[in-house]
Structure 1
Amino acid sequence: MYKFLRRFAYLSFISWMAVACSVEEVSPTNSATRDSHLALGNPSEADKAYANYLVEKPQYALSYNSYRGTPNWVSWHLSSAWLGEAPRQDDFRADQTLPSAFYKVVPSDYTNSGFDRGHNTPSADRTGSVEDNSATFLMTNMIPQAPNNNQKNWAGLENYCRELVEQGNELYIIMGSYGKGGEGSNGYKETLAGGKVTVPNRIWKVIVVLPLGSGDVNRINTGTRVIAVDTPNANSVGTNWSSYRTTVDVIEAKTGYDLLSNVPDDMQDVLEAKKDDGPTQ
């Protein structure tokens, strides 16, 4: 009788383990991952040109303009896999990976200019490690940004992006600037550092919102939420980013870029013509 009970208990345990393992194997999960920053495409076909130089880092990708001393655009993926507890490093510094022929912008080029060293990829989007956060403080990730634009309007949009991630989404974000001349806390300026750094006139961002998953570009459809924002680089800018919503088509017309080039053309036509009217918090 004892042997029978022991054998029955053993067989019951094995059966339970088999069911548990089977359930674990077939249960679908969508875990956050770190994906390609250029999944949506290379907007300007950046390569080795001095005005359109491609820089790919583990934390983001960008097109750098050595004549302006700023990026044309910066592209990055954002999911909870990029977020953690790493503190803000504040180690602004020149990007020594640029070609030797390029002037390497230094933090002091912005000193007393009336413009912030404005991040493209935000520090708070890269808190997974100290290394990730530190990478956002390279000057190739900076533009001269009016303080109220950077600290109020733009900060609100950046916070909303991270709220979307907390809600279970992953984002593909492209940010850039164009034009010449902005209004900082010390008034209007067109350049800094003796002409080495151009102050942009407008600052834009395009955000593609997807629920967590894989094969991201293939999951984009005509109902996918795309947020496009274009703001003046001025201290008088309003604090509500949503009042500056526009379409991808408008930004492309201003910049000459193809912002969603890896998305099928027919789908681009629909998504890029729509002006987002979704929630803002």
Structure 2
Amino acid sequence: MMKFKLSVSSVLAVSLLLIVSCSKQSTNTNPGTNPDPATPVPGPADTITSGANNNMRLGNPTMAKPESAMNENYLINQVYYIESYSRNRGIPNWVSWHFQSEDKGTVGRQDDFRPFTGLPSGWYQVAGNSYSYATNGFDRGHNCPSGDRTSSYVANSSTFYMTNMIPQSPNLNQGPWSELEDQLRDNFVGTSNEAYIIMGSYGQGGLGRGKTDTAKTIDNGRVTVPKKVWKVAVILPKADGDDLMRITANTTILAVNMPNAENLYGTSDAERKAWRNYLTTVAEIEADAKLHGVELNLLSNVPEAVRTALKAKKYQ
């Protein structure tokens, strides 16, 4: 069961991490596809959602830290999202990001799946071709979606680090999970709202395409196939000021928790809407994760009374 203790130095490290990401305009030099003049130019602003809109504004649910000793709960600031990464599982525990219409542009999918070379020395780097539905029966499923970062080539390319991926059943990834991403982006947020979103996974054992038995790991045991995949989104109208102070018990919150199993889903228009069958509460996600050895404290930065109300709230 994951339990963590904070030291003063750790708090300072995390604080520094968030301060560093507080510029609205990008000076990021992460690798990405260099735009050809004939291709679409980047969208509105090369926005790094930071400062008042920083990617971890609602909290650090496992108190992850950017220290190599925290190999099962290693905090990585990828600028366009923040994640807790597990060395032994080879996948993120969770990924957190802020989304608003300014993050949408005209840039297409870069599809440059690749290892993240910024991991501590000696850690295995999952390669872009380490798994796929053609070889293992699982998609490289985004946590922070490509579609949420289309304002620039660099922003979109950042979502293709393999530290942002999990082995996800193709029918789930391409069906209801994709539909949920579209609904959040286009309908829940649109142009007038903004959202704080966090996605994670836990457990071991998923069913891939063309398989009859669940797989616990792939890539020669170096990448865990999660059993459950969850997402929580807090949605509120755009406004100036500290968003934490604008979140109330009446704020819209959406939570889903879905088994990572190919046989449960489909990709027809009707089947894509099946994410609604898996609506749940944050409290229920936390309780189920705990049964699988993972302690989560979601929305930890939200004032306690509001946090308690939101955790018990199921989207209707």
**TM-score (structure 1 length as normaliser):** 0.85
Amino acid at match of 1:262: N
Q: Summarize deviations over 1:107-134 as a string: whole Å, max 9, x none.
A: 2210400000000000010000000000
Report how far residue 79 of structure 1 moved: 0.3
- Which residue of structure 1 lines up, in the alignment, with residue 224 of structure 2? 198
Amino acid at match of 1:191: T
Instruction: Note the 1:46-85 alignment, pairs <5 A.
Output: 46-47=64-65, 48=67, 49-85=70-106
Instruction: Note the 1:92-171 alignment, pairs <5 A.
Output: 92-111=113-132, 112-163=135-186, 164-171=188-195
Structure of greater Rg = 1
Unaligned residue ranges in structure 1 (runs of 5+): 1-31
Report how far residue 55 of structure 1 moved: 0.3
C-alpha distance in 2, partners of 1:37/1:167?
19
Report how far residue 186 of structure 1 moved: 3.0
| Pair 1:210-2:236 in alignment | yes
- Which residue of structure 1 lines up, in the alignment, with residue 314 of structure 2? 275
Amino acid at match of 2:61: P
Q: Summarize deviations over 1:188-214 as a string: whole Å, max 9, x none.
A: 211011100000000000000010013
C-alpha distance in 2, partners of 1:250/1:68?
23
| Pair 1:38-2:41 in alignment | no
C-alpha distance in 1, partners of 2:264/2:79?
33
- Which residue of structure 2 lines up, in the alignment, with residue 17 of structure 1? none
Secondary structure in 2 matching 1:89: coil
C-alpha distance in 1, partners of 2:129/2:226?
18
Q: Summarize deviations over 1:126-146 as a string: whole Å, max 9, x none.
A: 000000000000000000000
Using a 3 Å threshold, how does the CA distance of structure 1 residues 33 and 218 change in structure 2: closer, same or farther? Answer: farther
Amino acid at match of 2:308: D
C-alpha distance in 2, partners of 1:276/1:237?
22
Report how far residue 269 of structure 1 moved: 1.0
Secondary structure in 2 matching 1:171: strand
- Please say if residues 33 and 79 of structure 1, whose CA atoms lie closer than 8 Å, have aligned partners that are also in contact: no
Identity %: 48
- Please say if residues 78 and 125 of structure 1, whose CA atoms lie closer than 8 Å, have aligned partners that are also in contact: yes
Secondary structure in 2 matching 1:189: coil
Amino acid at match of 2:124: Y
Query: Structure 2 residue aligned with 1:262, among 301, 306, 309?
Result: 301
- Runs of 4+ deviating beyond 3 Å: none
- Which residue of structure 2 lines up, in the alignment, with residue 23 of structure 1? none
Aligned residues: 247
C-alpha distance in 1, partners of 2:48/2:166?
28
C-alpha distance in 2, partners of 1:60/1:167?
20
Q: Summarize deviations over 1:220-254 as a string: whole Å, max 9, x none.
A: 00100110000000112243111100000011122
Amino acid at match of 2:179: G
Unaligned residue ranges in structure 2 (runs of 5+): 1-46, 266-270, 290-294
| Pair 1:228-2:267 in alignment | no
Report how far residue 87 of structure 1 moved: 1.2
- Please say if residues 116 and 147 of structure 1, whose CA atoms lie closer than 8 Å, have aligned partners that are also in contact: yes
Q: Summarize deviations over 1:67-101 as a string: whole Å, max 9, x none.
A: 00000000000001211111110000000011112
Using a 3 Å threshold, how does the CA distance of structure 1 residues 124 and 140 change in structure 2: closer, same or farther? Answer: same
- Please say if residues 76 and 173 of structure 1, whose CA atoms lie closer than 8 Å, have aligned partners that are also in contact: yes
Q: CA RMSD in A?
A: 1.5
- Which residue of structure 1 lines up, in the alignment, with residue 108 of structure 2? 87
- Please say if residues 205 and 217 of structure 2, whose CA atoms lie closer than 8 Å, have aligned partners that are also in contact: yes
| Pair 1:186-2:213 in alignment | no
